[in-house]
Amino acid sequence: MYDRIIFAAVAAGLLTFAAPAHAADPATMDVAGIRLGDTPQQVKAALQQAGYKVTETRKTESFAQRVAVEVANRKGAAAPNPTYAGIAEIIAMGPHQERADIQFAQIAGGDSVSRVEVTIPGTAMSEAAMKAQLTARYGKPDSVKDQGLTWHWCAPQAVKICGMTYTSGELDTAWPTLRGSTAMGTNSIILEAGTDANRRLKQALEAAVLARAPKTDRAAF
Protein backbone atom coordinates (compact mmCIF):
# COMPACT_ATOMS: atom_id res chain seq x y z
CA MET A 1 0.00 0.00 0.00
CA TYR A 2 1.35 3.37 -0.96
CA ASP A 3 2.07 5.86 1.79
CA ARG A 4 -0.66 8.43 2.19
CA ILE A 5 0.81 11.91 1.93
CA ILE A 6 -1.45 14.78 2.91
CA PHE A 7 -1.91 17.56 0.36
CA ALA A 8 -1.88 20.84 2.32
CA ALA A 9 -1.81 24.26 0.75
CA VAL A 10 1.12 25.64 2.73
CA ALA A 11 4.53 26.38 1.34
CA ALA A 12 6.40 25.92 4.63
CA GLY A 13 8.01 22.54 5.13
CA LEU A 14 7.99 21.50 1.49
CA LEU A 15 10.04 18.42 0.69
CA THR A 16 13.17 19.03 -1.35
CA PHE A 17 14.23 16.25 -3.66
CA ALA A 18 15.01 15.84 -7.32
CA ALA A 19 11.99 15.13 -9.50
CA PRO A 20 12.07 11.75 -11.29
CA ALA A 21 12.35 11.59 -15.08
CA HIS A 22 8.77 10.36 -15.26
CA ALA A 23 6.11 10.83 -12.64
CA ALA A 24 4.21 7.92 -11.12
CA ASP A 25 0.98 6.60 -12.61
CA PRO A 26 -1.99 8.84 -11.64
CA ALA A 27 -3.92 5.63 -10.89
CA THR A 28 -1.78 5.27 -7.76
CA MET A 29 -1.44 8.96 -6.84
CA ASP A 30 -3.47 10.70 -4.16
CA VAL A 31 -4.80 14.18 -3.52
CA ALA A 32 -5.29 15.02 0.15
CA GLY A 33 -4.79 11.32 0.87
CA ILE A 34 -7.61 10.32 -1.49
CA ARG A 35 -7.07 7.90 -4.37
CA LEU A 36 -9.19 6.81 -7.28
CA GLY A 37 -11.33 3.86 -6.21
CA ASP A 38 -11.51 4.84 -2.53
CA THR A 39 -14.78 4.33 -0.65
CA PRO A 40 -16.70 7.15 1.07
CA GLN A 41 -15.44 5.86 4.42
CA GLN A 42 -11.82 6.04 3.24
CA VAL A 43 -12.43 9.52 1.85
CA LYS A 44 -13.86 10.85 5.11
CA ALA A 45 -10.96 9.39 7.08
CA ALA A 46 -8.42 10.96 4.68
CA LEU A 47 -10.17 14.33 4.81
CA GLN A 48 -10.16 14.33 8.58
CA GLN A 49 -6.48 13.38 8.62
CA ALA A 50 -5.71 16.28 6.26
CA GLY A 51 -7.61 18.78 8.40
CA TYR A 52 -10.72 19.10 6.25
CA LYS A 53 -14.31 19.37 7.47
CA VAL A 54 -17.08 17.81 5.40
CA THR A 55 -19.72 20.44 4.59
CA GLU A 56 -22.00 18.53 2.24
CA THR A 57 -22.75 14.97 1.13
CA ARG A 58 -24.89 14.51 -1.97
CA LYS A 59 -26.76 11.24 -2.49
CA THR A 60 -27.74 9.35 -5.62
CA GLU A 61 -29.05 5.94 -6.69
CA SER A 62 -26.75 3.04 -5.94
CA PHE A 63 -25.60 0.62 -8.63
CA ALA A 64 -28.20 -1.93 -7.49
CA GLN A 65 -30.96 0.70 -7.57
CA ARG A 66 -30.01 1.77 -11.10
CA VAL A 67 -30.09 -1.84 -12.22
CA ALA A 68 -33.52 -2.36 -10.63
CA VAL A 69 -34.96 0.70 -12.37
CA GLU A 70 -33.62 -0.32 -15.77
CA VAL A 71 -34.82 -3.92 -15.33
CA ALA A 72 -38.31 -2.64 -14.53
CA ASN A 73 -38.26 -0.39 -17.58
CA ARG A 74 -37.26 -3.22 -19.89
CA LYS A 75 -39.91 -5.54 -18.47
CA GLY A 76 -42.59 -2.86 -18.74
CA ALA A 77 -43.14 -2.88 -14.99
CA ALA A 78 -43.48 -0.01 -12.57
CA ALA A 79 -40.08 1.28 -11.48
CA PRO A 80 -39.19 1.02 -7.77
CA ASN A 81 -39.78 4.08 -5.64
CA PRO A 82 -36.83 6.45 -6.06
CA THR A 83 -34.45 6.24 -3.15
CA TYR A 84 -30.85 7.34 -2.82
CA ALA A 85 -28.59 4.80 -1.17
CA GLY A 86 -25.45 5.85 -3.05
CA ILE A 87 -23.13 8.81 -2.50
CA ALA A 88 -22.53 11.00 -5.52
CA GLU A 89 -20.32 13.69 -4.03
CA ILE A 90 -18.60 14.84 -0.85
CA ILE A 91 -17.58 18.48 -0.41
CA ALA A 92 -15.19 19.59 2.32
CA MET A 93 -13.31 22.72 3.37
CA GLY A 94 -9.66 22.69 4.42
CA PRO A 95 -7.63 24.68 6.95
CA HIS A 96 -6.25 27.16 4.38
CA GLN A 97 -9.41 27.93 2.35
CA GLU A 98 -9.04 24.74 0.30
CA ARG A 99 -12.22 23.30 -1.14
CA ALA A 100 -12.25 19.57 -1.86
CA ASP A 101 -14.88 18.16 -4.21
CA ILE A 102 -14.87 14.36 -4.41
CA GLN A 103 -17.12 12.59 -6.90
CA PHE A 104 -18.05 8.90 -6.86
CA ALA A 105 -18.98 6.31 -9.44
CA GLN A 106 -21.66 3.83 -8.44
CA ILE A 107 -20.24 0.35 -9.04
CA ALA A 108 -21.45 -3.11 -8.02
CA GLY A 109 -19.22 -3.10 -4.95
CA GLY A 110 -20.40 0.31 -3.71
CA ASP A 111 -19.41 3.92 -4.26
CA SER A 112 -15.92 4.47 -5.69
CA VAL A 113 -13.96 7.72 -6.12
CA SER A 114 -13.87 8.75 -9.78
CA ARG A 115 -12.74 12.37 -9.46
CA VAL A 116 -11.01 14.54 -6.86
CA GLU A 117 -10.64 18.30 -7.18
CA VAL A 118 -8.99 20.61 -4.67
CA THR A 119 -8.96 24.36 -5.23
CA ILE A 120 -7.03 26.98 -3.27
CA PRO A 121 -7.54 30.72 -3.83
CA GLY A 122 -4.56 32.60 -5.18
CA THR A 123 -4.96 34.96 -2.25
CA ALA A 124 -4.24 32.06 0.13
CA MET A 125 -1.35 30.42 -1.76
CA SER A 126 1.00 31.89 -4.35
CA GLU A 127 1.56 30.43 -7.80
CA ALA A 128 5.21 29.73 -6.96
CA ALA A 129 4.31 27.87 -3.76
CA MET A 130 1.64 25.83 -5.56
CA LYS A 131 4.06 24.76 -8.29
CA ALA A 132 6.76 23.93 -5.75
CA GLN A 133 4.39 21.70 -3.80
CA LEU A 134 3.06 20.02 -6.93
CA THR A 135 6.61 19.14 -7.95
CA ALA A 136 7.52 17.94 -4.46
CA ARG A 137 4.40 15.78 -4.25
CA TYR A 138 4.22 14.34 -7.76
CA GLY A 139 7.55 14.88 -9.48
CA LYS A 140 8.19 16.47 -12.85
CA PRO A 141 4.99 16.75 -14.93
CA ASP A 142 4.70 14.83 -18.20
CA SER A 143 3.37 17.91 -19.98
CA VAL A 144 3.25 21.67 -19.32
CA LYS A 145 0.71 23.82 -21.18
CA ASP A 146 -0.84 27.28 -21.24
CA GLN A 147 2.47 29.10 -20.83
CA GLY A 148 3.31 27.10 -17.74
CA LEU A 149 -0.04 27.53 -15.99
CA THR A 150 -1.31 23.95 -16.47
CA TRP A 151 0.63 20.79 -15.61
CA HIS A 152 -0.29 17.24 -16.59
CA TRP A 153 0.68 13.86 -15.15
CA CYS A 154 -0.55 11.04 -17.38
CA ALA A 155 -0.93 7.28 -17.32
CA PRO A 156 2.05 5.37 -18.79
CA GLN A 157 0.10 4.49 -21.95
CA ALA A 158 -0.71 8.18 -22.53
CA VAL A 159 2.70 9.76 -21.91
CA LYS A 160 3.41 10.36 -25.61
CA ILE A 161 0.12 12.23 -26.07
CA CYS A 162 -0.02 13.80 -22.61
CA GLY A 163 -1.65 17.20 -22.78
CA MET A 164 -2.35 16.97 -26.52
CA THR A 165 -5.72 18.28 -27.67
CA TYR A 166 -8.06 17.92 -30.59
CA THR A 167 -11.39 19.52 -31.44
CA SER A 168 -13.44 17.41 -29.01
CA GLY A 169 -11.11 17.60 -26.02
CA GLU A 170 -7.87 16.24 -24.62
CA LEU A 171 -6.48 12.97 -25.96
CA ASP A 172 -5.08 11.76 -22.64
CA THR A 173 -8.37 11.69 -20.70
CA ALA A 174 -9.23 8.08 -21.54
CA TRP A 175 -6.97 7.00 -18.68
CA PRO A 176 -6.35 8.34 -15.16
CA THR A 177 -4.86 11.83 -15.21
CA LEU A 178 -3.66 14.38 -12.69
CA ARG A 179 -3.75 18.06 -13.61
CA GLY A 180 -2.51 21.06 -11.69
CA SER A 181 -3.30 24.64 -12.60
CA THR A 182 -2.49 28.14 -11.40
CA ALA A 183 -4.63 29.93 -14.00
CA MET A 184 -7.19 32.68 -13.40
CA GLY A 185 -5.95 33.48 -9.90
CA THR A 186 -6.95 30.06 -8.56
CA ASN A 187 -4.77 27.09 -7.73
CA SER A 188 -6.34 23.75 -8.49
CA ILE A 189 -5.50 20.08 -8.74
CA ILE A 190 -7.71 17.47 -10.37
CA LEU A 191 -7.34 13.69 -10.28
CA GLU A 192 -9.82 11.73 -12.39
CA ALA A 193 -10.35 8.19 -13.58
CA GLY A 194 -10.96 8.98 -17.25
CA THR A 195 -13.45 7.99 -19.92
CA ASP A 196 -12.24 4.38 -20.13
CA ALA A 197 -13.43 3.84 -16.55
CA ASN A 198 -16.81 5.34 -17.49
CA ARG A 199 -17.06 2.94 -20.42
CA ARG A 200 -16.33 -0.08 -18.20
CA LEU A 201 -18.95 1.09 -15.71
CA LYS A 202 -21.60 1.31 -18.44
CA GLN A 203 -20.66 -2.19 -19.60
CA ALA A 204 -20.97 -3.55 -16.06
CA LEU A 205 -24.37 -1.91 -15.64
CA GLU A 206 -25.62 -3.31 -18.93
CA ALA A 207 -24.37 -6.79 -18.04
CA ALA A 208 -26.14 -6.68 -14.68
CA VAL A 209 -29.39 -5.57 -16.33
CA LEU A 210 -29.20 -8.25 -19.04
CA ALA A 211 -28.66 -10.93 -16.40
CA ARG A 212 -32.06 -10.06 -14.91
CA ALA A 213 -33.88 -8.92 -18.05
CA PRO A 214 -32.35 -10.75 -21.03
CA LYS A 215 -33.39 -9.72 -24.51
CA THR A 216 -35.43 -12.21 -26.51
CA ASP A 217 -34.06 -14.09 -29.51
CA ARG A 218 -37.46 -14.31 -31.18
CA ALA A 219 -40.28 -11.80 -31.49
CA ALA A 220 -44.01 -12.58 -31.96
CA PHE A 221 -44.36 -12.01 -35.68
pLDDT digits (tens, 9 = 90+) for 176-220: 999 999 999 999 999 999 989 999 999 999 999 999 999 888 888
Output the CA angle 7-10-11, nearest 5 degrees: 115
Residue pair 180/141 in contact (Cβ under 8 Å)? The answer is yes
With a pLDDT cut of 90, the percent of the chain lying above it is: 66
Where does 108-163 show beta strands of DSSP type E? 110-121, 143-145, 150-154
Query: Terminus-to-terminus CA distance in the chain, angstroms?
Result: 58
For the chain, give every domain's residue range: 26-211
What are 85-122's pLDDT values in tens digits?
A: 999 999 999 999 999 999 999 999 999 999 999 999 99
Most confident range (mean pLDDT) of 15-29, 153-167, 180-194 is 180-194
Mean pLDDT over residues 49-70, rounded? 96
Q: What φ, ψ does residue 74 adopt, rounded to 5°?
A: -75, -25
From 1-10, 17-26, 47-56, 116-125, the region with the lowest mean pLDDT: 1-10
pLDDT at residue 170, rounded to an integer: 62
More confidently predicted of 46 and 20: 46
Single-letter residue type at 4: R
Single-letter residue type at 85: A
pLDDT at residue 172, rounded to an integer: 65
Computed over every residue of the chain, the mean pLDDT equals 86
pLDDT at residue 49, rounded to an integer: 97
Q: In Å, how far are 116, 137, 176, 206 from 188, measured between CA atoms?
A: 10, 14, 17, 35
